[in-house]
Amino acid sequence: MAATEQVILVDENDNPTGTAEKLQAHREGLCHRAFSVFIFCNGLLLLQQRAKEKYHSPGLWTNTCCSHPRPGEEIVSAGQRRLQEEMGLQVALAAVGRFHYIAHFNNGLIENEVDHVLIGTINQQIIIPNSTEVAAYRWISIAELQKELNDTPQIFTPWLKYALEIVEKRLSH
């Protein structure tokens, strides 16, 4: 993580209020904009296991990719950029909703984010992830993921269940 990477500070309604250095925002629990990408192939969801070197939630399973837009960067463009950087995928994405959540981590960092949920579809399951970002990946059905989230919530990132609710509402329409 670059020490000078900036995030967009927002209120709980996603109205921009300024910018801050990313680690500062997580140390101080400043509300900022984020996104979570969900990629599907043949009805299965692509999950990633976060790299062990991540500054929070290392080794936990989560949606396909997540990050923060840069100041002046649109959400969908940011999602496409990070999807390419983390998973090596170029995919058209659609914004399907957003939610606000707060999570505290054992290392003292705090996620206080308005998280935009983005979805996309690919037609092959061969992925070449960036090993500095991603420890592993796997394909899973929504039903299997729901069972795992209920049975072993500790192996997943705290935002996944909230983002998944938005994805499920979109898929049911």
65 counts as catalytic? no
Q: With a cut of 90, say whether residue 152 has pLDDT above it.
A: yes
State the chain's mean pLDDT as an integer.
94
How confident is residue 89, by pLDDT bands cut at 50, 70 and 90? very high
Q: CA-CA distance, 144 to 147, in Å (whole number)?
A: 5
Q: CA-CA distance, 2 to 73, in Å (whole number)?
A: 17
Please list the alpha-helical segments (H only) found in 39-91.
Answer: 75-87
Angle at CA of residue 50, ends 48 and 56, nearest 5°: 145
Specify the pLDDT at position 1. Answer: 44
Please compute the mean of the pLDDT values over residues 141-170 and round it to a whole number.
Answer: 96
In sequence order, the β-bridge partners of residue 44 are 41
Cβ-based burial of 31 (10 A; exposed 0-12, middle 13-18, buried ≥19): buried
Which CATH architecture describes the domain 6-171? Answer: Alpha-Beta Complex (3.90)
How confident is residue 124, by pLDDT bands cut at 50, 70 and 90? confident
Task: Express each pLDDT in 32-79 by its tens digit.
Answer: 999 999 999 999 999 999 999 887 788 999 999 999 999 999 999 999
Please compute the mean of the pLDDT values over residues 81-96 and round it to a whole number.
Answer: 96
| Cβ contact 51:58 at 8 Å | yes
Q: With a cut of 50, say whether residue 2 has pLDDT above it.
A: no
Continuous segment of H or E residues that includes residue 97: strand 94-104
Continuous segment of H or E residues that includes residue 27: helix 22-28
Structure tokens at 152: 């072993």
Segments making up each domain of the chain, as ranges = 6-171
Please compute the mean of the pLDDT values over residues 112-129 and round it to a whole number.
Answer: 94
Specify the pLDDT at position 173. Answer: 73
Please identify which of the residues 31, 66, 86, 111 carries the catalytic annotation. 66
CB count within 10 Å of CB 134 equals 21
165 counts as catalytic? no
